[in-house]
Amino acid sequence: MRVAVLTGGTHVHVALREGERELLRETLPAGAPGATVAAVADRVAGHRPDVLGLASFGPIDVDPASPTRGHLRATPKPGWNDFPLGPELARALGVAAWAVDTDVNAAARAEAAHGGETALAYVTVGTGVGVGWVHQGRTARAPDHPEAGHLPGDPADPFRGVCTFHGACVEGLVSGPALRARSGGDPAALSDDDPLWDWVARDLAHLVHAVMLLVPVERVILGGGVPEARPFLGGLVEARARALAGAYRRIPEGLVGPPRVTRPDLEGAFLLADEARAW
Ligand SMILES: [Zn+2]
């Protein structure tokens, strides 16, 4: 029996499968870390999962050989700094084996498994900006996971950015909090033809272009709350990325598209549970 746990900024998702049959799927609020682990274990009580797949927000140690595997790192989320999330969950759930990856790497795994791509990037734009990358079914986990959401955005973007660490990185320019700061209110109230969306597309195009130069992929999935609410962004980002790439790096038609898997980050956590079983 596999248990999949997905930890996000405000919520934790937990699901159980025996073979392909789903026995449980619940969403819990993410409070203090110890209480959150206890709440997950409480929901799973009565079942006996043997493997755990954990997909977590980062930064988190995902190096399979690291003594602090599954420990969170410097996170702005209060109380979660350095919390040994993976080991604590594994202990509370009583599983024999577990595997951990970032939420975006997990989503990239599920999307590539679904679409059969050899190389794929999953970009999420919501509370933060994250990039997962998968190549031949594997993600980069050692010595560390990618943090491409903190690459620079369009140098012509006049906004100063809100990232605590970098100011005008892509996350600092186009995440939910950045859009609130830029629009001076609720970005949901902006019309689709507001000029802000073109800056968002330009900043994300710099990210996609950088990904294509460094680790070429067959597909870029653009997920998360912002593109979900503004589905036209995918086409704009692709067009802007193509203009940036010029003749040097081909940006194929249809490179950027929406997720094809429902809740791909949680599906990816199940793939991690399979991986844990194989070890
Ligand atoms: Zn940053």
Q: How far is the CA of 148 from the centre of ligand 1 (A)?
A: 9
Instruction: Give percent of the chain with pLDDT exceeding 90.
Output: 95
Give the C-alpha separation, 190 to 165, whole Å: 27
Which residue type does 59 have?
Answer: P
Task: Reply yes or no on whether the pLDDT at 102 is more than 80.
Answer: yes
Structure tokens at 110: 């599920």
Mean pLDDT to the nearest integer, 260-275: 97
Domain 2-102+262-278 shares a fold with domain 106-257: yes
Q: How far is the CA of 153 from the centre of ligand 1 (A)?
A: 10
Residue 255: which residues within 8 A CB-CB, separation 6 or more? 208, 217, 218, 219, 220, 238, 241
- Residues with a beta carbon under 5 angstroms from ion ligand 1: 150, 163, 165-166, 169, 171
Confidence of residue 77 (pLDDT cuts 50, 70, 90): confident
Task: Reply yes or no on whether the pLDDT at 199 is more than 90.
Answer: yes
Mean pLDDT to the nearest integer, 191-195: 97
CATH architecture for the domain at 2-102+262-278: 2-Layer Sandwich (3.30)
Is-contact 261 114, C-beta < 8 A? yes
Task: Quickly name the fold that domain 106-257 has.
Answer: Nucleotidyltransferase; domain 5 (3.30.420)
Distances (CA, A) of 238 to 3, 45, 143, 159, 183: 36, 46, 31, 22, 24
Closest CA to 166 of 145, 151, 177: 151
Q: How far is the CA of 112 from the centre of ligand 1 (A)?
A: 26
Task: Reply yes or no on whether the pLDDT at 242 is more than 90.
Answer: yes
Q: How far is the CA of 75 from the centre of ligand 1 (A)?
A: 12
Q: How far is the CA of 174 from the centre of ligand 1 (A)?
A: 11
Q: How far is the CA of 129 from the centre of ligand 1 (A)?
A: 9
Mean pLDDT to the nearest integer, 103-108: 98
Confidence of residue 3 (pLDDT cuts 50, 70, 90): very high
Q: How far is the CA of 245 from the centre of ligand 1 (A)?
A: 23
Q: How far is the CA of 263 from the centre of ligand 1 (A)?
A: 25
Q: How far is the CA of 173 from the centre of ligand 1 (A)?
A: 9
**pLDDT the model gives residue 75:** 78
Task: Reply yes or no on whether the pLDDT at 215 is more than 80.
Answer: yes
Instruction: Give percent of the chain with pLDDT exceeding 70.
Output: 100
Digit-coded pLDDT (tens) for 142-186: 999 999 999 999 999 999 999 999 999 999 999 999 999 999 999
Q: How far is the CA of 169 from the centre of ligand 1 (A)?
A: 5
* Between 106 and 10, the higher pLDDT residue: 106
Q: How far is the CA of 2 from the centre of ligand 1 (A)?
A: 35
**pLDDT the model gives residue 243:** 97
Q: How far is the CA of 97 from the centre of ligand 1 (A)?
A: 34
Widest CA span in the chain? 59
Confidence of residue 278 (pLDDT cuts 50, 70, 90): confident
CA 162, 167, 168, 171 torsion: positive or negative?
A: negative
Q: How far apart are the first and last CA of the chain?
A: 16
Enumerate the domain spans of the chain. 2-102+262-278, 106-257
Task: Reply yes or no on whether the pLDDT at 279 is more than 80.
Answer: no
Q: How far is the CA of 279 from the centre of ligand 1 (A)?
A: 35
Q: Which 3 state secondary structure label does DSSP give 114? A: helix
Characterize the bridge pairing of strands 129-135 and 138-139: antiparallel
Give the C-alpha separation, 13 to 265, whole Å: 10
Give the C-alpha separation, 259 to 239, whole Å: 19
**pLDDT the model gives residue 275:** 95
**pLDDT the model gives residue 74:** 83
Q: How far is the CA of 170 from the centre of ligand 1 (A)?
A: 7
Task: Reply yes or no on whether the pLDDT at 225 is more than 80.
Answer: yes
Confidence of residue 191 (pLDDT cuts 50, 70, 90): very high
